[in-house]
Every structure is written in C-alpha cells, then in structure tokens.
Structure 1
C-alpha cells in the first residue's frame, strides 16, 4: 500500500517538473522576439548586430542630416558624438521629432543602414532616454539641460 502512494507521489512530482519545464520553455520562446536590446551608434559601428536582429538604437538626430524622400520615406543620421549611423524610416514621424534632439528607433541594421520600424521622439524639452544620456556622457558630449522658468511661482 505504501509503495503505491510513494509511486503516485513520484509520478505527480515528475509531471509537475515536466509541466514547469514546458511552461518556462514556452514563455522563453514567446519572449525571444519581444526583448529588444538598446545600442548606441558607437556600439553598432564597433560590433554590428546580425542582419535579422531587432534592437533599439538611440542618440541625437544629427543636424543637417534629415532628408525627406518620396512619399513617407525619411532618412537621417543618429549620433552619440562618437559615431553616426544612417537611418531610414517609412511612416509618419512623431510631432516632436527634429534635428539635434533625442530619439530612439527600433529596427534592424544591415551593415550600412539602420532600417527603423518605429521611431520615438522626446516628449518634452528635457526628455532623453536614460540609455541615450549614458551613451552621450560616455562620449563626453552630453550637456545637462538648463533649468527654465515654467511660468509657475515656486513659493508664495
């Protein structure tokens, strides 16, 4: 009688372990395309990712590099002060997107051009993604934004 209970308990534990392994495997497989790593332009140039790897690139839109092509195609360079990567994007840019401002794009790099599928721009005059600020500080080109009067009284 005891060996039957022991055998059932072992079977239940084995089934639970197999179910856990299958669950973890399925979750990992589902997230494999959902995890996008951030890279600065200098990192992309130094160690180019694979042509099918989807990742995020961020930096400043290089002044004078923004070119609007036919239709919705836009070309520009993103830089961190140390390197610049050409970017192409087909679609409508965010309203706040402009030269010399922070941006983050998601897409793939073919060895020459970053082909963005999504472009994010700063959301106010002081915003820049933390990764972009860190990369710019590392290059020695980041300047802290100056405090500006916002029209509100701070005390009274």
Structure 2
C-alpha cells in the first residue's frame, strides 16, 4: 500500500488565549506577561513550548500547553487591567491539527488559497481550508492548522483526504 503524503493528527493538549488590545500601547505588558517577544505582522515568536502569533493589528493568539493556560490567562488579565483589552481563553473553541512529513505543504496547498510556500519559517497565516476559517504556522517537520472546534470533523476529513496516497499535486 502506498504511503500517505503526510501524517495528520489532532492535538488535544493545547491552550489558546486570544488577546485583543492596542498592541502599540500594551505590547510591552503583553510580552512580559506572555513571556515572549511580540511578533511582527504575520509572524510568530516562540520559546519552544509557547507560541505568540500575530492575528491582526489588534489581536494576538498565545498557544501554550493547556496546563499553563489558566495561569497565563490570569497574568495577561492582570497585566492589561488598566488597558482597554480583551483576554479570553479560547482553548475549548478551537481544534488543532499537525500536518507532518515531506509533503505536508502539498496537503495544505490543495485546501488553502494562500501562498503557503512563501510563508516564512516564523510565519502565521490566516486563511481557509476549503471553506473553513483557519490559521496555519510552521513547526519542525510540518505545520499546525487551527480552526473552530465546531468544524473539527470537517477539517480532519479534509486533511486526511488531501493526504491520501496517490493524491499528490500534478508537477506540471
């Protein structure tokens, strides 16, 4: 039997905290509370276990081990208590998938209209997988795709279908 183009697995132990604030005003406080430098536009910063991703001009997403989410949420809320800001644990609203292997990019290219091939190593891209809103960033050996938990089964099916043996893109 032919081998799949990529290994698809759901990640169940991630915590995710959405941060909405004036990043110019509150950036230093966010960076200190999150323990990571603020990322540039369309980028992520990481320490290996935590990722801080730029989602829009006033929005960041902190991705970390789920066991650390409550403490990080409290630290961010405290750091931003004097700012007009929203800090929200969205862990239960999101589903995350690993797409690993040499052809991981090909799997995503079949589903996403974005030019993921030109995404920098520390890039984060908001796009769609088929018709489902998602965010994608690189990790060693592949990518992570996040989307709404309400469409997790749909996303899993899309990814698994795009990774089927023999479904590689036509090289022409």
The TM-score normalised by the length of structure 1 is 0.23
The structure richer in strand per residue is: 2
Q: Which of structures 1 and 2 has the larger relative contact order (alpha carbons within 8 angstroms, sep 6+)?
A: 2
